[in-house]
């Protein structure tokens, strides 16, 4: 089964899916493997691997090591065209549609597409949108783009609908890693009533209650990164997973 289809099945069976982000620069490979093992135990639905920057050369080794040790889907969440690996199960094929810089929208994708095909890596076409979050995040700074205002849902709604009409499979509402404020529930709810493709929500989510409230507002998938980077607490992972899996029988 394709990874995207299995994500849809997860959403159908559990109400929503929970993804844990592993930034290759933020931990050693052995630490990432330890976290991945705990994610399996906690019923995390997939690992996202990627980062805005890469300081170290471990990207591919990290994915290969996780895949050789753990039975969990690994989906690349690329910060640049350097973040591609044949060892992953799929890649979020992102187009930063909140940008007006053609490189963020189609340029990098043209560079990456033939490589993905040659590697037979499943691309999951995903519209990536930055939402104002109280601070300038690395992704915003590096892409030189402005986030959408929190209080103007119509801007985000129009972009997300355009993504759906362009045939993209998912929308990723990104407050940014370490965001002061996560994506507001009112915005998630407005989108859930307006578009019909699944929504990933991430950035600045620090508690299981917050994660649950994103799902109750209409998020299909919730991502956490920072909160578990330093603290691989299995109890906390399980609490996030249970909070997100609202439809789990
Ligand atoms: C970033 O949404 C992810 O793309 C995760 O953000 O590190 O703030 O959880 P945090």
| Count of residues in the chain | 249
pTM for this model (two decimals): 0.97
99: CB partners within 8 A, 6+ apart: 105, 143, 145
Q: Is residue 21 within 6 Å of ligand 1 at its C-beta?
A: yes
The closest alpha carbon to 224, from 238, 243, 211, 212, belongs to: 211
C-alpha 189: how far from chain center = 19
d(CA 92, ligand 1 centre) in Å:
15
121-145 pLDDT, tens per residue? 999 999 999 999 998 888 888 888 8
Contact present, 22 and 75 (Cβ < 8 Å)? no
68-126 pLDDT, tens per residue? 999 999 999 999 999 999 999 999 999 999 999 999 999 999 999 999 999 999 999 99
**66-102 CB burial, b ≥16 within 10 A, e <16:** bbeebebbbbbbbbbeebbbebbbbbbbbbbbbbeee
Q: Under CATH, which number does the domain 3-244 receive?
A: 3.20.20.390
Mutate to test the pocket of ligand 1, among 175, 181, 188, 230 (most ligand atoms within 8 A of CB): 175
d(CA 237, ligand 1 centre) in Å:
15
pLDDT at 249: 53
Closest C-alpha to ligand 1, atom 1: 177
């Amino acid at each position: 089964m394709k990874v995207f289809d299995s994500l849809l099945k997860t959403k159908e069976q559990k109400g929503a899916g929970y993804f844990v982000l592993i930034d290759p620069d933020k931990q050693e490979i052995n630490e990432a493997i330890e976290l991945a093992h705990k994610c399996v135990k906690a019923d995390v639905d997939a690992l996202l691997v990627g980062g805005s920057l890469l300081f170290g050369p471990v990207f591919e080794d990290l994915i290969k090591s996780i895949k050789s040790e753990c039975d969990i889907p690994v989906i690349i969440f690329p910060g640049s065209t350097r973040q591609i690996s044949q060892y992953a199960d799929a890649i979020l094929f992102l187009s930063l549609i909140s940008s007006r810089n053609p490189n963020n929208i189609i340029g990098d994708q043209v560079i990456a597409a033939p490589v993905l095909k040659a590697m037979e890596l499943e691309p999951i076409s995903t519209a990536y949108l930055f939402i104002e979050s109280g601070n300038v995040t690395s992704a915003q700074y590096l892409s030189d783009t402005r986030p959408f205002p929190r209080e103007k849902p119509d801007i985000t709604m129009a972009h997300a609908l355009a993504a759906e009409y362009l045939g993209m499979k998912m929308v990723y509402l990104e407050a940014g890693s370490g965001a002061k404020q996560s994506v507001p529930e009112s915005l998630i709810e407005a989108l859930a009533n307006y578009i019909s493709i699944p929504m990933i929500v991430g950035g600045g989510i620090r508690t299981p209650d917050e994660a649950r409230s994103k799902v109750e507002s209409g998020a299909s998938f919730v991502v956490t990164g920072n909160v578990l980077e330093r603290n691989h607490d299995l109890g906390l992972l399980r609490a996030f997973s249970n909070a997100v899996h609202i439809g789990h029988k």
